[in-house]
Amino acid sequence: MYGRPDDLGKALERLAAGRPAVVAGGTDFYPARIGRAIETDVLDLSGIASLRGIGTEPGQWRIGALTTWTDLVRADLPPALDALAQAAIEVGGPQVQNRGTLGGNLCNASPAADGVPALLALDARVELASLRGTRTLALAEFMLGARRTALAPDELLVAVLLPRQGPAARSRFLKLGHRRYLVISIAMVAVSVDLDEAGRATRVGAAVGSCSAAARRLPALEAALAGVPRAALAETAWQALRDPAVLAPLAPIDDVRGTAAYRMDAVATLLRRAFGDLAS
């Protein structure tokens, strides 16, 4: 059975009554079933207008789960959220960006999901809703591994919440693949820095994707950059990355796109480059 409710409450009722496959943009769901009949019930969320859009609340940004990558690219976001817009440009091609959603990217939970490192570096939280009520989780607690999340069977991810940062905050996303566009990443990084009036880092976020079962933050690197002047971030990061413990949260694999050793080297280079970009 196919259902396309226009109200979140109706969607939650359908979800609680059974276990349909939940579809937002469908950019992962339908291609995975080419040539096969769809034998499961489908709950299509695309008709729920309240789940799409970017807005502000006291102390935070609220991004609806059905917000598309194109929406993010076109939005008037501050430099603090540049990494998210830059990641949005890297998601597939225009057709996928027009249909694919931020919430779908998170719930699909691919280790190579382009949106996750940027959101991790920006201290994102997710809002989950069910007939039982709502709850919020840090994104790092929501992403459990490859194709695994903390979403309960009767819950929907309805929004992503990002804390507002200072006027000097900046962020950057970089992706390495075998070609420039329409490629699954070999490695990707996102960094975020907020600065005080003296230009020193008061908050640092650094996250890496495609190098573990789920994207991971690098707390040791973030700590090493606390208080560092903006102009010295790249070189200080490069020095810190000489310590193998800094990249210990990562567990890259050898596959057709690259070896684990190559991924680790690439991550260090990408991080240095990303922090260097923030200093320019």
**Confidence band (pLDDT; 50, 70, 90) for 192?**
very high
The neighbour count for residue 245, using CB atoms within 10 Å, is 9
**Confidence band (pLDDT; 50, 70, 90) for 38?**
confident
**Confidence band (pLDDT; 50, 70, 90) for 61?**
very high
Find out whether 267 and 187 touch, Cβ atoms under 8 Å: yes
Mean pLDDT within 141-161: 97
> pLDDT at position 31, please?
85
Residues 211-269: pLDDT tens digits? 999 999 999 999 999 999 999 999 999 999 999 999 999 999 999 999 999 999 999 99
Structure-block tokens of residue 265: 């080297």
Question: Could you tell me the pTM of the whole model?
Answer: 0.96
Domains in the chain (CATH in brackets) are 170-279 (3.30.390.50)
Residues 92-111: pLDDT tens digits? 889 999 999 999 999 999 99
**Confidence band (pLDDT; 50, 70, 90) for 35?**
confident
Mean pLDDT within 199-204: 98
**Confidence band (pLDDT; 50, 70, 90) for 30?**
confident
> pLDDT at position 32, please?
82
Mean pLDDT within 151-176: 97
